[in-house]
Chains A and B, each alone.
Chain A
């Protein structure tokens, strides 16, 4: 069955929320204070994007659900995020590799959404493009410094790339969204642009692209790795203990 716009919006919102949550886990653990601030900043931008998308998902769905319903009262199997964002943070190199893979895809995605026939999404995209450019500058800047830094940082950056690469494919979108594409609701695929952009960063970071294409998928259909449920359990625990409460 082809995906509807609601599914597409939830896939984006879930990707962005889960990544925001993972980045916030770095707070008080970052390598320097500047990074505590930078990662918090990016996490906050993402949280803002996710909240807009969830609110819009509520409108599309038409059942009166607000942003908090989607974040707090759905189970892991209802989440539609790509597997890569739910993976544990690992060391700083693993996190930065994930950001690079994600941010290149996110920039191409939002750019393509600026001309969506859906006014709400096009307006959101215009703002998100600017934020994502800044995120991409941060992540590529770090990956290049790590890859081309010391022997140890190079080794860790390569290990990070090898760890995250198998999950990267889902960042290019789902296979069941051609109808949305044909209707102009979402933009054209950006696989080639993404490969070229990631390749350029990897080269500048003096790293080696893994030879095999990405293999892991399932998140976009709700088939998650073992890491999402424990993350959601922490996130949702308090909200679910007080159903109907205002905070």
Chain B
């Protein structure tokens, strides 16, 4: 295969498969994007995982455990998709642990209250869905197919999050106030999950030409706001943006500019929470090393025994 064949597949909106020829930059862009996505799935287990032990009912405990387990599975599918491009999981984990690759900065926010679990499912998984549904049509086959499986589970995550917020909003005054505080904490970080404005997103055009990306950051952000504002109204809560208003002429919401300076700080991944996220991951990996070694040693012994037998 050659550049011409690659271009033809892209133009015809067909899938590129692992054995197909692809430009180096296409491969690099995908590895970076898929790895960052995989890292986000497994780091994302932490803020909610902290609440499994404290979940206020057995029903919620079960649902939250299932959700965090799903996120581990998402990480595995995605590391698998990245491996099809010729890198291995251990290497990518090393890069996460030594901070040379990033994860979504949304997981650098704290989750001090139970309602944060609701807000994360509803808003963060919701924004992730808006980002990820178009990725199901990504030109790279293994990534697109992994995203189809993931998106199915993400919609359950979003529903359970909204359900938590709904129950809190209809609950005691303390519960409703807790829900509003969580919305206040997670609204802007969720809005910023779509990335910087189009005018400052240099890679968007190329990723769109390659069929990796299907909509611009600002387009996705608009869709998200349009879908979420009516849900906030149903909850009887208030969006923490006094300038949010329906613009009849544009058929869209107008809203304030997020605090991109804060976003830049969060992306840097410095401070107490990012350090905790990485050290938790790194410790799990280091402390598990003897277990992984034992599994390898045992498998080798078994092979030897079979050869002798």
- Chain A interface (Cβ < 8 Å from any Cβ of B): 17, 21, 24-25, 27-37, 40-41, 43-44, 47-48, 50-51, 54, 67-68, 71-72, 91-92, 144-146, 148-150, 152-153, 156, 234-235, 237-239, 242, 245-247
- Beta-carbon contacts under 8 Å, B263-309 to A: 280-281, 283-284, 287-295, 297-298, 301
Q: Return chain A residues, CB-CB under 8 Å to B289.
A: 31
**B299 closest partner in A (C-beta):** A145
Q: Quick one: which of B49, B72, B297 has the most chain A CB within 10 A?
A: B72
- Rounded to whole Å, the gap between the CB of A207 and the closest CB of chain B is 13
A36 touches B60 (CB 8 A): no
Q: Counting CB contacts under 8 A, is B19 at the interface?
A: no
Q: Counting CB contacts under 8 A, is B53 at the interface?
A: yes
Knowing that A44-B69, A68-B59, A149-B294 touch, tell me 6 more A-B residue pairs with CB under 8 angstroms: A28-B281, A30-B288, A31-B289, A36-B72, A234-B54, A247-B168
A31 touches B297 (CB 8 A): no
For the complex of A and B, the 10 pairs showing the least CB-CB separation, nearest first, are A31-B288, A149-B294, A153-B294, A40-B69, A31-B291, A145-B298, A36-B72, A239-B56, A247-B57, A238-B56
B76 touches A245 (CB 8 A): no
B283 touches A29 (CB 8 A): yes
A51 touches B57 (CB 8 A): no
**A39 closest partner in B (C-beta):** B69
Secondary structure at the B interface, as helix, strand, loop or mixed, is: helix
A50 touches B58 (CB 8 A): yes
The 5 sampled A-B contact pairs (Cβ below 8 Å) are A31-B289, A32-B291, A37-B72, A149-B298, A150-B297
Q: Return chain A residues, CB-CB under 8 Å to B293.
A: 149-150, 152-153
- Chain B interface (Cβ < 8 Å from any Cβ of A): 42, 45-46, 49, 52-62, 65-66, 68-69, 72-73, 75-76, 79, 114, 164, 167-168, 171-172, 174-175, 280-281, 283-284, 287-295, 297-298, 301
Q: Quick one: which of A25, A28, A149, A239 has the most chain B CB within 10 A?
A: A28
A25 touches B53 (CB 8 A): yes
Q: Quick one: which of B61, B75, B297 has the most chain A CB within 10 A?
A: B61
A47 touches B61 (CB 8 A): yes
Known: A36-B69, A47-B65. A242 touches B172 (CB 8 A): yes
- Rounded to whole Å, the gap between the CB of B53 and the closest CB of chain A is 5
B72 touches A33 (CB 8 A): yes
Q: Return chain A residues, CB-CB under 8 Å to B62.
A: 44, 47-48, 51
Complex CA gap A72/B56 in Å reads 8
B295 touches A40 (CB 8 A): no
A43 touches B292 (CB 8 A): no
Complex CA gap A153/B290 in Å reads 7
Q: Return chain A residues, CB-CB under 8 Å to B72.
A: 27, 33, 36-37, 40
Known: A68-B57, A238-B54. A145 touches B295 (CB 8 A): yes
Q: Return chain B residues, CB-CB under 8 Å to A239.
A: 56-57
**B178 closest partner in A (C-beta):** A242
Known: A36-B72, A37-B73, A47-B58. A91 touches B298 (CB 8 A): no
**A145 closest partner in B (C-beta):** B298
Q: Return chain B residues, CB-CB under 8 Å to A156.
A: 290
A51 touches B58 (CB 8 A): yes
Complex CA gap A58/B62 in Å reads 20
A27 touches B294 (CB 8 A): no
Point out the residue from A27, A51, A152, A242 that lies within 8 Å of B68, measured CB to CB. A27
**B79 closest partner in A (C-beta):** A33
**A155 closest partner in B (C-beta):** B290
Q: Return chain B residues, CB-CB under 8 Å to A31.
A: 284, 287-289, 291-292
B167 touches A27 (CB 8 A): no
Known: A31-B287, A44-B65. A145 touches B58 (CB 8 A): no
Q: Return chain B residues, CB-CB under 8 Å to A30.
A: 284, 288
Q: Return chain A residues, CB-CB under 8 Å to B280.
A: 28-29
A27 touches B171 (CB 8 A): no
B69 touches A29 (CB 8 A): no
A148 touches B301 (CB 8 A): yes
Complex CA gap A68/B60 in Å reads 11
Q: Return chain B residues, CB-CB under 8 Å to A43.
A: 65
Known: A24-B53, A234-B53. A44 touches B66 (CB 8 A): yes
**A29 closest partner in B (C-beta):** B284
B58 touches A67 (CB 8 A): yes
Known: A47-B62, A68-B58, A92-B288. A235 touches B69 (CB 8 A): no
**B288 closest partner in A (C-beta):** A31
B288 touches A32 (CB 8 A): yes
- Rounded to whole Å, the gap between the CB of A148 and the closest CB of chain B is 6
Complex CA gap A54/B280 in Å reads 34
- Rounded to whole Å, the gap between the CB of B289 and the closest CB of chain A is 8
A153 touches B291 (CB 8 A): yes
